[in-house]
Amino acid sequence: MSLHKPQTQLLYPELEQALEAGDLEALEALCDHLAVEDLAELVDELEASLRVVFFSKIPLQTATDIFQQLSLPTQSEVLDSLPAAREAEIINEMDPDDRTALLETLPINDTKQLLSFLKPRERAQAQKLLDFPEDSVGRLMTPDFLAIRQEWTVARAMQFIRENGEDKETLNDIYVVDEKGRLLDDIRIREFLLSAPECPVEDIMDGQYTALPAMNPQEEAIQAFKKYNTLTALPVVDEDGLLLGIVTIDDILLLEEKETTEDIQKLGGVEALDTSYLEAPYWNMLRKRVGWLTGLFIGEMFTATAMSFYQGEISKAVVLALFIPLILSSGGNSGSQATTLMIRAIALGEVTFADIWRVFRREILMGVGLGIILAVIGCLRIFVWGAAFHTYGPHYMILGMAVGVAIVGVVAWGTIVGAMLPIVLRRLGLDPATSSAPFVATFIDVTGIVIYFNIAMFVMGGRLF
pLDDT in tens, 363-377: 999 999 999 999 999
pTM over 0.85: no
In total, the chain counts a number of residues equal to 465
- Asked if pLDDT for residue 235 goes beyond 80, the answer is yes
- Domain covering 282-460 assigned CATH 3.40.50.2300 in the classification: no
- Asked if pLDDT for residue 7 goes beyond 70, the answer is no
Q: Quick one: pLDDT band at residue 247, thresholds 50, 70, 90? A: very high
Tell me the pairing of strands 147-149 and 243-248: unpaired
- Asked if pLDDT for residue 24 goes beyond 60, the answer is yes
Cα–Cα distances in Å, from 104 out to 44, 140, 229? Answer: 21, 11, 28
How confident is the model at residue 266, as a pLDDT? Answer: 75
Per-domain boundaries in the chain: 5-131, 147-248, 282-460
Give the range with max mean pLDDT: 276-285, 389-398, 445-454. 445-454
The closest alpha carbon to 324, from 444, 431, 210, belongs to 444
Note the pLDDT tens digit of each residue in 119-159.
Answer: 998 999 899 999 999 889 999 998 888 999 999 999 999 99
Note the pLDDT tens digit of each residue in 309-333.
Answer: 777 777 766 788 888 888 998 998 9
- Domain covering 147-248 assigned CATH 3.10.580.10 in the classification: yes
- Domain covering 5-131 assigned CATH 1.20.58.760 in the classification: no
Q: Which amino acid belongs to residue 59?
A: P
DSSP conformation letters of 204-268 = G-------EETTSBHHHHHHHHHHTTT-SEEEEE-TT-BEEEEEEHHHHHHHHHHHHHHHHHHHT
- Asked if pLDDT for residue 76 goes beyond 90, the answer is no
What is the rounded average pLDDT of the residues 1-11?
55
424 CB neighbour count, 10 Å cutoff: 13
Q: Which amino acid belongs to residue 44?
A: D
Give yes or no on whether 147-248 and 282-460 have one common fold. no
How confident is the model at residue 254, as a pLDDT? Answer: 85
Alpha helices in 22-145, H assignment, sequence order: 24-33, 36-43, 48-57, 60-69, 72-81, 84-93, 96-103, 108-117, 120-130
How confident is the model at residue 6, as a pLDDT? Answer: 47
How confident is the model at residue 160, as a pLDDT? Answer: 93
Cα–Cα distances in Å, from 218 out to 30, 68, 125, 346? Answer: 38, 21, 20, 15
Q: Quick one: pLDDT band at residue 237, thresholds 50, 70, 90? A: very high
- Average the pLDDT over each of 1-10, 33-42, 289-298 and give the range with the smallest value: 1-10
**8 Å CB contact between 197 and 158:** yes
Give the integer Cα–Cα distance in Å for 322 and 350.
41
| Mean pLDDT computed over every residue of the chain | 86
Distance of CA 33 to the CA centre of its chain: 34
Cα–Cα distances in Å, from 83 out to 119, 229, 237, 406? Answer: 17, 42, 38, 68
Q: Quick one: pLDDT band at residue 464, thresholds 50, 70, 90? A: low
**8 Å CB contact between 41 and 74:** no
Note the pLDDT tens digit of each residue in 351-363.
Answer: 989 999 999 999 9
Note the pLDDT tens digit of each residue in 370-403.
Answer: 999 999 999 999 999 888 877 777 778 888 899 9
Percent of the chain with pLDDT over 90: 35
- Asked if pLDDT for residue 187 goes beyond 80, the answer is yes
Q: Which amino acid belongs to residue 129?
A: L
Backbone φ and ψ for 27, nearest 5 degrees, come out as: -65, -45
Give the integer Cα–Cα distance in Å for 65 and 59.
10
Taking CB atoms within 8 Å and a gap of at least 24, the contacts of 14-19 are 15/42, 15/46, 15/54, 16/46, 16/50, 19/46, 19/50, 19/53, 19/54, 19/57
How confident is the model at residue 280, as a pLDDT? Answer: 74
Give the integer Cα–Cα distance in Å for 232 and 24.
37
Rg (CA), the chain: 30
Backbone φ and ψ for 149, nearest 5 degrees, come out as: -105, 150
How confident is the model at residue 162, as a pLDDT? Answer: 92
Give the integer Cα–Cα distance in Å for 195 and 206.
14
- Average the pLDDT over each of 51-55, 190-194, 366-370, 457-461 and give the range with the smallest value: 457-461
Taking CB atoms within 8 Å and a gap of at least 24, the contacts of 275-280 are 275/71, 275/72, 275/73, 276/71, 276/73, 279/71, 279/73
